[in-house]
Structure 1
Amino acid sequence: MVQSNTNPFNEQEQSIVPVPPDEAGNYSYCSLPKVAPRDLSRIVDRNRANLIQFLDKKWVNGTILHYYFFDQPTYWTTTETEKNVVRKAFDVWKQVGIGLEFKEVNSPDEAEIRIGFQRTDGAWSYIGRDVLNIGRDERTMNFGWDLTRYPGEIDTAVHEIGHTLGFPHEHQNPNAGIVWDEQAVYTELAAPPNNWDRETTYYNIIRKINPDTVQGSSWDPNSIMHYPFGAGLIQAPPKYRNGLTPAPGLSERDKTWVKQFYPLLEEKDYTELKPFQSVPLTLTPGEQMNFRIEPDATRSYTIRTFGTSDTVMVLFEEVNGELRYLTGDDDSGEDYNAEIKVRLFRGRRYVLRIRLYYSDRAGETAVMMW
């Protein structure tokens, strides 16, 4: 949890009171669900594995992420006022100017993001595409305390949405050089309001995350994905021994990185993909190409990448003016090429998105439909 420069309650107010710690000086923190790391084959070389781990939880750009607020059971529900804080937090990310879209839906069956407000379960979200592995009746995000208690609580929601976009905790960045007073950290987090056991504290604070999953080579102490910390928890860098409080809202680096993965898409960013025409994928790791498909015949098609590469390929169908996920394939870390076999219909419009993780030889990767 961090503080925000956006006030969800008074649009005219230009500054807010940051979220304070409790009377004991402790902050309420986000507790990530534990997910086993991706198991990459031993035949995958280090450079290739690094790129896959850096990108594999990110969405293909242009995805519409649908979110749903549970209306049952009652202990997962909340007021419209609190839901509005979360709605505004989605808008904070969107206003940066990104290619992702966010849309509220009325059924968990339509939602990738399913949000609950169970007060005894802390604040958390799964990271990026991990939400796709969670059952449709289960939460992918939770808020364990009242987001209307302070205006700055909007940053709690912005933080959790950041996880859903694929971003980990910044204070666990191995480039930070943070040296903890580990016993002090365990003692503080075992006390209210968090009441964490040692394993939870280690996983969410002390553990250094894989360097291949962090954004860039430097540390951003003002990131929305960074916790605030009180005095006595950090031993080094020395300037933070008396505490570290990230600046309110999204940092400049937060904005830079989210736009790098999810740049705003324009019509010029799309290429038409026609049957039996090979199109080179002139991409560097992390980049994406977008294709429009308008079949001239209704039949079964195969869409496949070629070359020694790792890609995620996702096909959407336009339904009532909105792109809906149809199917996809991810060949990263495998010995085959991404391939989609699907029946397409004449008169309908489709969009294919391909993000490159890794290519053995630049310029020798392509896609074809037949």
Structure 2
Amino acid sequence: MPKVPKVPKVPKAPKAPKAPKAASAATAAGEAPILRYCAQPMQHPRQFDPAVDALRSRAILAGGKKWVNGTQLTFCCYKTGDAVPGSWLGKAADIEEVRQAFQAWFKLGIGISFKELAAPADATIRIGFDPAGGSWSYVGRDNLNIRDPLQRTMNFGWALNTPYGRDTAMHEIGHALGLEHEHQNPFAGISWDADAVRRYFQGPPNNWDERTIDWNILRKISPAEVKGTSWDPDSVMEYAFGAGLISEPAAYRKGLQPKGGLSAADKAWIAESYPGVGPKKEIPVLEVGLSQKLAIKAGETRVFDFTPTRTRTYSIATFGSADTLMVLFEVRSSGNLEIGGDDDSGTDRNAKIDMRLISGRRYQVGIRLYYAQMAGETSVMVW
């Protein structure tokens, strides 16, 4: 059977084993569950200039894959008529489960939204349903690196209208929102029987090679990239594992089975990462030539309104010794449309967007602060 490929020079959708096998619940107590697992595409870790100290790089990594508040996350499920392999096309029942999974995440009242689009070329998240491709998704803003509309950013390899399938849909969308695998959390304290793990995942139905096993199971994620300072064994981002794979903690030597669905920690993470805007809370307005303090802490985001009175090219920029991600949205009745952005993190410059804006149209500027030597001295201005 073909193997999952090595890290590509340019990120592309991963291949996976040919022979699909429907996921099932755990077998008799003490036996390994016969499941197919999510296999994330391997990515090159971000490298920083030596001048960027550890505290600063940690702060950048902590928020580097998260979206900016105000983002409308668009998705499209490949359908008949799209110039893609027929195996990528989903059944109506599975597509409906994807919609419901998006609803489950976004109905928590967070500061980003989602919308299903008909054309893959218009969507940020492009979803296939190839049984031979396994289930996987790119993480957060890594999706923006996959711009070809004929490349998937997410795939489902088994039926989603089962309890395990519904959790799979929630799991992959969790990746798209910026969550990593929970069992790779460095705070979990998991010690693996590495030989047993390799034997299990090299066998059917996963048939993974060693690099895929290391990337998705044995690798510890940087503490900066996980959702908290403790392990959540019930997270929807946690795998179920059978007996004999985990050596420590002792309580999980006979296996690990998450409860299913979104855990309390999952809900807390997304609320903290993408805080919603209450109906009574006004969004600050940017005025030409007048700077406004960002007034947020590292890891937080803030959104500003701007409605130009004249059609021309405007400059929008941050000021101060800070690492920021700035995104410009055009506000439409159908939702925010991202039209520009700049990420200055890890550099000695500030984020800046130069763009022609139309008089009378409403725009929003979303800014995520990664790190600042003096957060209170960071500001934004349009001119």
Question: TM-score per shorter chain, which class?
Answer: over 0.9
Task: State the identity as a percent.
Answer: 49
State yes or no: 1:49 paired with 2:54. no
Distance in 1, Cα, partners of 2:380 & 2:33: 56
Distance in 2, Cα, partners of 1:22 & 1:274: 63
Distance in 2, Cα, partners of 1:222 & 1:176: 12
Say which SS state the counterpart of residue 272 (structure 1) adopts: coil
Distance in 2, Cα, partners of 1:320 & 1:251: 33
Distance in 1, Cα, partners of 2:326 & 2:360: 22
| 8 A Cα contact 2:328 2:341, kept in partner | yes
State yes or no: 1:225 paired with 2:240. no
- Structure 2 partner of 1:192: 204
CA drift of 1:321 comes to 4.5
Amino acid in the other structure paired with 2:357: L
Change (3 A) 1:234 1:54: same
CA drift of 1:322 comes to 2.3
- Structure 2 partner of 1:64: 72
State yes or no: 1:332 paired with 2:337. no
Of stretches 210-219 and 106-115 in structure 1, the one that deviates more from structure 2 is 210-219
Q: CA-to-partner distance for each residue in 1:259-291, whole Å, 9 max, x for gaps?
A: 001111235251000101010111111111111
The residue correspondences of 1:1-370 to structure 2 (distance < 5 A) are: 19-21=24-26, 25-71=33-79, 72-134=84-146, 135-148=148-161, 150-266=162-278, 268-370=281-383
Cα RMSD, aligned residues only? 1.5
CA drift of 1:200 comes to 0.8
Say which SS state the counterpart of residue 48 (structure 2) adopts: coil
Structure 2 unaligned spans of 5+: 1-22
| 8 A Cα contact 1:223 1:250, kept in partner | yes
CA drift of 1:22 comes to 6.8
Distance in 2, Cα, partners of 1:330 & 1:137: 26
| 8 A Cα contact 2:292 2:379, kept in partner | yes
CA drift of 1:96 comes to 2.0
Q: Runs of 4 or more off by more than 4 Å in structure 1?
A: none
When normalised by structure 2's length, the TM-score is 0.89
Distance in 1, Cα, partners of 2:201 & 2:348: 44
- Paired residue total: 352
When normalised by structure 1's length, the TM-score is 0.92
Say which SS state the counterpart of residue 166 (structure 2) adopts: helix
Distance in 1, Cα, partners of 2:282 & 2:201: 47
Change (3 A) 1:269 1:245: farther
| 8 A Cα contact 1:26 1:188, kept in partner | no
Say which SS state the counterpart of residue 376 (structure 2) adopts: coil
| 8 A Cα contact 1:32 1:125, kept in partner | yes
| 8 A Cα contact 2:61 2:225, kept in partner | yes
- Structure 2 partner of 1:8: none
CA drift of 1:79 comes to 1.2
Of stretches 91-100 and 272-281 in structure 1, the one that deviates more from structure 2 is 91-100
Change (3 A) 1:62 1:19: farther
Q: CA-to-partner distance for each residue in 1:202-241, whole Å, 9 max, x for gaps?
A: 1100111111111221111111111010011111100101
| 8 A Cα contact 2:24 2:33, kept in partner | no
Q: CA-to-partner distance for each residue in 1:110-161, whole Å, 9 max, x for gaps?
A: 100000011111100000000010122100000111223x234111000000
Distance in 2, Cα, partners of 1:55 & 1:185: 31
CA drift of 1:337 comes to 0.3
CA drift of 1:30 comes to 0.3
CA drift of 1:248 comes to 1.4
| 8 A Cα contact 1:19 1:153, kept in partner | no
CA drift of 1:199 comes to 1.2
Say which SS state the counterpart of residue 363 (structure 1) adopts: helix
Q: CA-to-partner distance for each residue in 1:322-358, whole Å, 9 max, x for gaps?
A: 2111101000001100001111111111011111001
Distance in 2, Cα, partners of 1:151 & 1:220: 20
Distance in 1, Cα, partners of 2:144 & 2:375: 31
Say which SS state the counterpart of residue 375 (structure 2) adopts: coil
Q: CA-to-partner distance for each residue in 1:51-92, whole Å, 9 max, x for gaps?
A: 000100000012111100112321100211111111111111
Change (3 A) 1:164 1:364: same
Distance in 2, Cα, partners of 1:321 & 1:204: 37
Distance in 2, Cα, partners of 1:213 & 1:321: 32
